[in-house]
Amino acid sequence: MQVIQIIPSISLIYGGPSQMVLGLAPALARQKVEVTVLTTDSNGDFGQKPLDVPLNYPIEQDGYKIIYFRCAPFRRYKFSLDLLRWLNRHAHTFNLAHIHALFSPVSSFAATVCRQQKLPYILRPLGTLDPADLRKKKQLKQLYAAILERPNLAGAAALHFTSTQEAKVSERFGVSTRDLVIPLGVNPIKDAGKEDVRSQFGISKDIPLVLFMSRIDPKKGLNLLLPALEALLSEGFDFHFVLAGTNPQDPSYEEKIKLQVQASELRSHTTITGFVTGELKSALLQAADIFVLPSYYENFGIAVAEAMAAGTPVLISDQVHICQEVRDSESGWVSATDVLEFTSILRIALQNPSERERRGLRAQEYALKNYSWDAIARQTIQAYNNILSHSDVE
């Protein structure tokens, strides 16, 4: 089976969507699927240098091929005419396309090319069909959907959602298309020296470490988290807060949050790391006593699954769409998107180290069993085969 994965960017600065493709592609390759990833050299939207990668020819890595194309002329939208031209010339050599992102021009036009070339394709919306997300730039998105995304949804062999809740709430624009619910995966977290990272940031080993690690974006619920932390400080709780993340698409909001922390009592109890990856990321996930993500909407929450795999209990909102899995597996706590409730549950978590430890162990057990990339690759291949067999019948 020859499968093409198409995504506007795989720079880790964009977070979960990139990590998904970088995890799925080698896992599929281990199952003998021939995978080619098409993407751009985009590496941030405001002044950052493009990825330092060869362009326009396949690079072999981890058992699959990846081809980078110049992001031009619309850097903000990660567009590449060269990518679309390549796809138009080579689509007939593949069995299936898996396209990651809606409302992104390169993905939208890639789906159009696939239809023209009669190449079956799967669309992964990345949460963009959530009504809360659609309210942003509503009129523009309605126009975009009418012209491009509604035909793309109608022509897709399936829509790939990463949770049952994401599929349930997603807008379809009147189109009836098959659903696939396949979660994202995580790699086991190797021992990365959690005591060393506490020492590196001057965090005492005797106080709880509260970790936020995600894009610094309004939808992530920092306007709930920061007041909750401030309230607990005023009650006399001792903890250290680590704010890890960035926002390459809205640096002004990132700066606003940093200034808010610096202007509050949190400043002497907080470390702001910026974007983290590699061993530092693993070490922070392992060192944390609780991982927090009070998002207003989140189609999956890859950082939540990573924290679980590291053995860290999580406190998330009920708008993170794996909240039911967290509840059922007792991998942490779930709150409404309400400051008082979030504060109350975080208070309970900070007061009970033995319960944090128990839930952390449950979280790790659940994540390694249900979010392993090899298991997800097998589920994905089964979906691919079902689509191709149906296509052959037609």
Mean pLDDT, the chain, integer: 91
Confidence at residue 228, expressed as pLDDT on a 0 to 100 scale: 98
State the DSSP string of 91-131.
Answer: GGG-SEEEEE-SS-HHHHHHHHHHHHTT--EEEE-TTTTSH
What one-character DSSP code corresponds to residue 193? -
The tokens for 185 are 């995966």
Confidence at residue 366, expressed as pLDDT on a 0 to 100 scale: 95
Question: Quick one: what percent of the chain has pLDDT higher than 70?
Answer: 96
Cα–Cα distance, 267 to 289 (Å, whole number): 19
pLDDT one-digit tens code per residue, 46-93:
667 888 999 999 999 999 999 999 987 666 668 899 999 999 999 999
332 has which bridge partners?
A: 314
pLDDT one-digit tens code per residue, 234-261:
999 999 999 999 988 788 999 999 999 9
| Residue (of 321, 280, 287, 279) closest to 304 by Cα position | 321
- 3-state SS string for 26-66: HHHHHCCCEEEEEEECCCCCCCCCCCCCCCCCCEEECCEEE
pLDDT one-digit tens code per residue, 81-121:
999 999 999 999 999 999 999 988 999 999 999 999 999 99
Average pLDDT over residues 173-192: 86
pLDDT at residue 392 tops 70: no
Q: How confident is the model at residue 45 (pLDDT cuts 50, 70, 90)?
A: low
Cα–Cα distance, 164 to 161 (Å, whole number): 7
Cα–Cα distance, 314 to 57 (Å, whole number): 42
The pTM for the full model equals: 0.84
Cα–Cα distance, 264 to 93 (Å, whole number): 58
**Helical (H) or strand (E) element with 1:** none
**Helical (H) or strand (E) element with 332:** strand 332-335
Cα–Cα distance, 321 to 219 (Å, whole number): 14
Cα–Cα distance, 225 to 235 (Å, whole number): 16
Cα–Cα distance, 352 to 360 (Å, whole number): 12
Angle between helix 302-309 and helix 353-370 axes, rounded to 10 deg: 110
pLDDT one-digit tens code per residue, 258-270:
999 999 999 999 9
pLDDT one-digit tens code per residue, 334-370:
999 999 999 999 999 999 999 999 999 999 999 999 9
pLDDT one-digit tens code per residue, 192-203:
666 788 989 999
Question: Domains in the chain, start-ordered, CATH in brackets?
Answer: 2-185+372-393 (3.40.50.2000), 194-370 (3.40.50.2000)
Query: 253: exposed, middle or buried (C-beta count within 10 Å: 0-12, 13-18, 19+)?
Result: middle
Cα–Cα distance, 177 to 60 (Å, whole number): 34
How many CA atoms lie less than 13 Å away from 124 in the CB half-sphere? 24
Question: Quick one: what percent of the chain has pLDDT higher than 90?
Answer: 70
Average pLDDT over residues 133-141: 84
Confidence at residue 50, expressed as pLDDT on a 0 to 100 scale: 84
How far is residue 313 from each of residues 302, 361, 366, measured CA to CA in Å?
A: 14, 8, 11
